[in-house]
Chains A and B, each alone.
Chain A
């Protein structure tokens, strides 16, 4: 099927402008800024100190924040993308336009993704400017990697959210499903993994453990950020379970891209019927 880029950008433009106009982008950017500043300042409190620590420790702290916050925000942003239009009654009018269902879906996703990416980059960029004044190029590189991977994390959960919005029959169920996904990937998944590992005394599944982590974009994000930081890698104990070969940033980034493409592809298949 031929895609018409003009139709995709028309939909994406509207979604993006809507989020700018209702100050969603601004609000989320400020939330990121505020949380990040607090965490950067108090992040080392467990070690008995406060104040801005090294960039590696700061990033490690920020990762813990982002892993909770961004999936939640992305899921809330996207869960009603399609089902919301359907429930309000505006979907028929949209689809009566010379637009294909795939173009509509992609337009929705890209517009929302742009809004989320902008607030992520703006929010953490602002914090970055505060944190990085005295740091070197290496620190900047790590921080940029953190921001970029945060954007990817957001997009992967947004992709799941848009899929939810296609499958759910109404908004209420869509929101329930979105929250369930958040619980599963952010809270339950690691617990299950860890539980399985401990229950088997670490003997069974040791080799597939890292692969299982790839089945969760939140974990991929964590590995992506933490593995490259020598200072915190041992803190997480990752080096013991995660093979070097799999931890190459480009491989992990590729997995993230898959986490964006696959849910969206499933959604497109379902929506296109």
Chain B
């Protein structure tokens, strides 16, 4: 399973790219060219009693990057966030944020430039939205008049005087995001930032992220929904069982995972044998027949050959549909 991820894997042959529509974010190239690292995680391990929550993570996030951490609940993402914020000390290894060790005494100065939105953010029910921001603004040394514009930015204008108690999950999440943006941080840690948001709010959230990124803010966000962040992050790391299983841009991950392509063929009559004969000499992975439906799986580099062979069967075939591995497949292929 992990062997498919070995870096020695060569890039897929060109014909494998035909169906690809993924657009590589423009900044990725610049980052790969060697922008300065703002986060460096080196061989970090964290144990909770007998449980190893984070198991030897190495990670580098570059300045200005929009970086995603993808993984199931309990994969170790939140523990990693807590360690990067210096809330939790690694059992071994070290983390450097903006050139400062997270265990250093002066790390509080780094925190002034960090915004954090915890998973399932809990705020104070008895405070109003504005009071909540003002409380955190004071702790961050941000003037109180910076609070009202932030409420507007997350779409909570007009709710400033309402108590957080009355807020829906989505509104709390937005208020938490406003809190994270207090003081124009250079670095944002967002743990499952879109949980509880409706689709419109999610779009609004990512629009704000794009603005922040344009301003040069580095953003690390986590999610367990790959489909949501796939087109929005520059790079991502797949985390499972406390380890980084793969890291790279979405298209790099897809190439590296090299998952099979699946053909669903509907045949005119019971011509299963003809199909098997036609594909027999090709490197297909499996052929399964179920009534008039035949499923064929092959590696990406055999894709065109399979299509050509099927096309030669002409009238025997009513329809062909091609199913590219989805990013969820890639994700599950990597993380399981």
- Select which of B111, B135, B141 is within 8 A of A14 by beta carbon: B135
Minimum Cβ distance to chain A for residue B123 (Å) = 7
Segment from B9-17, B114-122, B208-216 that makes contact with A: B114-122
Establish whether residues A98 and B108, one from each chain, have CB atoms under 8 Å apart when the complex forms. yes
Question: Is the CB of B112 closer than 8 A to any CB of chain A?
Answer: yes
Establish whether residues B122 and A88, one from each chain, have CB atoms under 8 Å apart when the complex forms. yes
- Near A by CB (< 8 A), chain B positions 97-155 give 105, 108-109, 111-112, 114, 116, 118, 120-124, 126, 135-136, 138-141
Establish whether residues A93 and B121, one from each chain, have CB atoms under 8 Å apart when the complex forms. yes
Minimum Cβ distance to chain B for residue A23 (Å) = 12
Question: Is the CB of A136 closer than 8 A to any CB of chain B?
Answer: no
Q: How far is the CA of A89 from the CA of B87 in the complex (A)?
A: 13
Establish whether residues A100 and B108, one from each chain, have CB atoms under 8 Å apart when the complex forms. yes
Question: Is the CB of B82 closer than 8 A to any CB of chain A?
Answer: yes
Establish whether residues B122 and A97, one from each chain, have CB atoms under 8 Å apart when the complex forms. no
Q: How large is the interface on A (under 10, 10 to 19, 20 to 34, 35 or more residues)?
A: 20 to 34
- Select which of A88, A95, A97 is within 8 A of B136 by beta carbon: A97
Question: Is the CB of A18 closer than 8 A to any CB of chain B?
Answer: yes
Task: Say what secondary structure dominates the interface of chain A.
Answer: helix
Minimum Cβ distance to chain B for residue A82 (Å) = 14
Establish whether residues A96 and B116, one from each chain, have CB atoms under 8 Å apart when the complex forms. yes
Question: Is the CB of B85 closer than 8 A to any CB of chain A?
Answer: yes
Q: How far is the CA of A7 from the CA of B123 in the complex (A)?
A: 18
Q: How far is the CA of A90 from the CA of B116 in the complex (A)?
A: 12
Given contacts A1-B105, A98-B108, contact A7 B118 (CB under 8 A): no
- Near B by CB (< 8 A), chain A positions 74-119 give 88-90, 92-100
Contacts of B122 in A (CB 8 A): 88-90, 93
Given contacts A22-B126, A92-B82, contact A98 B121 (CB under 8 A): no
Q: How many residues of B contact A (CB 8 A)?
A: 26
Q: How far is the CA of A93 from the CA of B85 in the complex (A)?
A: 10
Given contacts A92-B82, A93-B116, contact A98 B124 (CB under 8 A): no
- Near A by CB (< 8 A), chain B positions 300-324 give none
Q: How far is the CA of A98 from the CA of B182 in the complex (A)?
A: 12
Contacts of A192 in B (CB 8 A): none
Establish whether residues B111 and A96, one from each chain, have CB atoms under 8 Å apart when the complex forms. yes
Given contacts A96-B85, A98-B140, contact A89 B120 (CB under 8 A): yes
Q: How far is the CA of A7 from the CA of B135 in the complex (A)?
A: 10
Q: How far is the CA of A88 from the CA of B136 in the complex (A)?
A: 17
Establish whether residues A98 and B126, one from each chain, have CB atoms under 8 Å apart when the complex forms. no
Given contacts A1-B105, A96-B116, A97-B111, contact A10 B87 (CB under 8 A): no
Minimum Cβ distance to chain A for residue B67 (Å) = 18
Given contacts A96-B85, A98-B108, A100-B108, contact A89 B139 (CB under 8 A): no
Minimum Cβ distance to chain B for residue A13 (Å) = 8
Establish whether residues A98 and B123, one from each chain, have CB atoms under 8 Å apart when the complex forms. no
Q: How far is the CA of A88 from the CA of B111 in the complex (A)?
A: 22
Establish whether residues B123 and A90, one from each chain, have CB atoms under 8 Å apart when the complex forms. yes
- Near B by CB (< 8 A), chain A positions 239-267 give none
Question: Is the CB of A21 closer than 8 A to any CB of chain B?
Answer: yes
Q: Mark A124-165, 1 if CB is under 8 A from B, else 0.
A: 000000000000000000000000000000000000000000
Q: How far is the CA of A22 from the CA of B85 in the complex (A)?
A: 33
Q: Which residue of B lies closest to A93 (CB)?
A: B118
Q: How far is the CA of A7 from the CA of B114 in the complex (A)?
A: 17
Contacts of A14 in B (CB 8 A): 124, 135
- 10 A-B contact pairs sorted by A residue (CB < 8 Å): A1-B105, A6-B141, A7-B139, A10-B138, A10-B139, A14-B135, A93-B118, A93-B176, A97-B140, A98-B140
Question: When A and B form their complex, which 9 residue pairs have the shortest distance between CB atoms, in order from nearest?
Answer: A89-B122, A97-B139, A96-B116, A90-B122, A10-B138, A98-B111, A98-B108, A98-B112, A96-B85
Q: Beyond A89-B118, A93-B118, A97-B111, list 8 extra A-B contacts (CB 8 Å).
A: A6-B138, A6-B141, A11-B139, A93-B121, A96-B116, A96-B118, A97-B139, A98-B139
